Chain A
């Protein structure tokens, strides 16, 4: 990847008679792996610091002829020149030591493998077979505990099965920074414990279940649901956010039963967040739309595919139309929407941003984000990471883990520009620059950065006029890299695919005639529309005015937008491609059911612009992807897309390499100070009321409590204490929440944007920086 490989000292040693040369600092157990020699282990984990607790990996070691008097834990000892290692394969002492430890481990381990979730994929079970004695000599009494214990609503602990390897506690402390579980008690009664007053409150708790080498930690949703050997596994990619996690989806009889973090060292390493792991019931929701629907006499009725395609064609034919893509489509689907708009509808009125957005943002994306390649590895070598309009733990958890790793490893400097100093920022040891929403631009301009710095920008920075311009300015001055991290998994892909009014696929500016010619040639059409398209909000407004008479909407929740013009949705012909009933399908004239991520193949593009391809986990599904349906309609409209499969779309998009012409210029906006006296700050938290998180009671049990956050000074002026009720209102509406006094800047009230009890966008119609009123009580 990077041009310069860091020079490392190499060490040569002998393991079981084989010479091997590895970088200095490599642990003996890792060096043995490179030779294909597997030393059994439990507490060892390559991403956790060594602990040497389980003693399963004992081997004989001598250095320059001097032998250690007793076998050593190979997971704790770095290689040295002149080292001769004898594992269980060549040393009788090591072999006996390992069998002995294995027998000890089974002394208190219940033999309930036949009913244990882990049975069949259990490191203890497997290694007891490969490295243990056939039968235990233990005839005594095992220790027993009450079980299971809920250490959170989604993680259950079976203390009898626990072998006390401390992987879970080390993960929580070292990786997640949520040290809410720790060992308690002593001896064989030692156990993983939670604090009485602090629950296991972590967005990453599912990883402890995955790395548990026995069945001690289980996920509440999966417990007793399946046996591993009944599952069919498909490598997949997470659809929840732009982090780009590699996953594994496990399916039995056409139902997703669980998802695990995949191993991708360049992206998510071996971790993922609890949402990515445990939010997938939506694909199996009872209210999934299963057949095409057509509105007749004001009511939707089931229709056949040919009838529905014909109705859609008729509704679109000859009309001025706009396309709202939503931010959750795959790259291939977004590409189909982008091409459908230009080729079949003859318009650039297409936008993937079904959320608050601005022209400044669209220009910024075209000028600095589309086609750019800032990677996780840039965080690894950054001298300074600036977070603005972005709370990584809530809005892109793997970005959070990666920054935290570097903070722990080398004290990476982090600056957080935000109205609230969150727990996530504190876990990063971030220098907190408190700003009232709207004041971000000035705080950004005041930074000193270098070309090794990375500015991580969240999508909601578009709500602060001038802030993106300030980012652009400081980046061009200092050479700092810009990482734009949207919340939704499909946004970056949609941007690259041209599902936006000012860009064609491959970051080609609509306004550039050469770019249009490029794409027109690839698409075998005479010309492409030259006018820069409208954005989402403007498309709806135009529909309300009758300037647009038809809308194609895929995967959009209008309540995610700021002040959506429902009149536009009501008046235009509305074609909806959707999975479940929504505010769009309620108004749609034709509804086409579409496949969810498990029912199709495709790819997402992570915030890095990295393509993350996944295969269909449910090959027998009858659901079709958006792009296939669009291709049918396009055919029917007489303007074929030229592909009707994911592979075809991907191939075509792939041949359209990135634009090598001039980037569109960015004019920029200046910031203006808000005159508001009480200002709203608000963003989405990881676990909230999102439509992809339905039917997951265990998961939602660990969502952060919805509270209104003000600082102590503000609370005092309101006459409220921690826990008191306050009401936040605008002329649009009001919502009431309990107060939690927090490290928030003066005169700002922070609300969750999409909690069950606090949908600030929908209920208050207010964005970050909006004037609100706060009062005590209801």
Chain B
């Protein structure tokens, strides 16, 4: 258990971890008090020094992002927290907010103070009603405690916090689409520049950060930038939540320093489903190119994963054992991207529509090997050609799966259909096998 570094998840096992009292029992809101006594620029500097990188997937240094906000411009600034977690496999923000919403509220207060925002928004995924309720309660309690509202802690700092419930569109996790949606428009990505730091929400300087990024801020303020930077690797500092799902014996959140390997995480998670072996996995959700058992020892930090041909993304590790048909898994993801494509740009809108049809045919044993070349060429025409990164995400699983499992694709053709028994990969099959 020594590999784990529970910070955000330290008290999730306590019954009242989600309450104000439960949070404060372990020093909750002390970091806020400390931060409000500091100069806002010093807070930004501290987050810069910590090396915290955005936990939403792209890994952009959080402190630098805050530094882009022009100060002294006599304009309203906004902080927007992206809690629209909807990528297949990604499941870190929802349990975090369920178990400890106050850490986000505290992070919002500190971050808003740093960037001189007087109004912050949390854009939460609409489907997670239970989390929404806890979040609302936490915000209400924070207002009552005087942590939000006018003249917080008598320091002359005002902050309103609004929880906005999204209507369930994957695209609204893209930061500029999220801003459009928050403004009441249809969620579609905006043309950049201008970047949100210059003209974001209501055309005002805006920081958009992931839940986990903001929730990591109180610990940095509390324990210091050096402490945070001492964890992780040289360029990927700190701890983070790794979400293991799929064919593992103990799926869930594992908070550990960046740079840990899947092999180590699997040990913590009780290993791959008993009696089975690892076939492929995603390092950071369905839009990151897949890995295989050859990557068990790849350090899970931004640089190493990238060097190995994928992306750390949201650190959502979906584990698939040998019972899983890779084509089936990829088709399901592609169907998701087709359904969630916003329609703004041609490659993503039309490409996903087309890819699904080819993959379905292949799954049913229709087509020829030439279709694989076609598939890869379509992906090549989609990857890097779309308006936002979602189009890239749709191409990645297909390209990487053909790279590693080309023979399996062809087996569908020679077999006249899928050679796998889909039941074998299900949970109820494993419970039967284990019985």
Which chain A residues have a beta carbon within 8 Å of chain B's beta carbons?
A: 50-56, 58, 69-71, 76, 96-97, 99-101, 103-105, 107-108, 137-138, 140-141, 143, 163-164, 182-190
Contact = CB atoms under 8 A, between A and B. Distances in A.
B345 A140 contact: no
Given A104-B354, A188-B353, A55 B343 contact: no
Q: Which 5 A-B pairs have the closest CB atoms?
A: A100-B381, A190-B343, A70-B384, A140-B357, A104-B350
Interface string B342-355: 11111101111110
Nearest to A142: B353
Given A188-B343, A188-B350, 14 more contacts: A50-B191, A54-B345, A55-B387, A96-B380, A100-B347, A100-B385, A104-B349, A107-B350, A140-B358, A186-B340, A187-B343, A187-B353, A188-B353, A190-B349
Interface in B339-389: 339-347, 349-354, 357-358, 361, 374, 377-378, 380-382, 384-387
Nearest to A143: B353
Contacts of A108: 350, 353
Contacts of B340: 186-187
A107 B387 contact: no
B169 interface: yes
B338 interface: yes
Interface in B176-204: 186, 188, 191
B32 to A, nearest CB: 40
Nearest to B188: A183
A256 to B, nearest CB: 36
B343 A182 contact: no
B186 A164 contact: no
A143 B357 CA distance: 12
B381 A96 contact: yes
Contacts of A163: 346
A182 B191 CA distance: 18
Contact of A55 (B347, B353, B374): B347
Nearest to A186: B343
A190 B386 CA distance: 16
Contacts of A141: 357
B431 to A, nearest CB: 37
Contacts of B169: 186
Given A71-B384, A97-B381, A187 B342 contact: yes
A23 to B, nearest CB: 19
Interface string B324-339: 0000000000000011
B178 to A, nearest CB: 15
Contacts of A140: 354, 357-358, 361
B346 A58 contact: no
A93 to B, nearest CB: 10
Given A140-B354, A188-B350, A55 B191 contact: no
B116 to A, nearest CB: 27
* Of A70, A97, A101, A164, most B-chain CB atoms within 10 Å: A101
Contacts of B352: 187-188
A285 B404 CA distance: 72
A104 B171 CA distance: 20
Nearest to A108: B350
Contacts of A70: 384-385
Contacts of B350: 104-105, 107-108, 188
Contacts of B387: 52-53, 55
Contacts of B385: 55, 58, 70-71, 97, 100-101
Contacts of A69: 384
Contact of A101 (B188, B347, B353): B347
B343 A185 contact: yes
Contacts of A188: 338, 341, 343, 349-350, 352-353
B369 to A, nearest CB: 15
Interface centre among A54, A69, A186 (most CB of B within 10 A): A186
Contact of B342 (A51, A101, A104, A186): A186
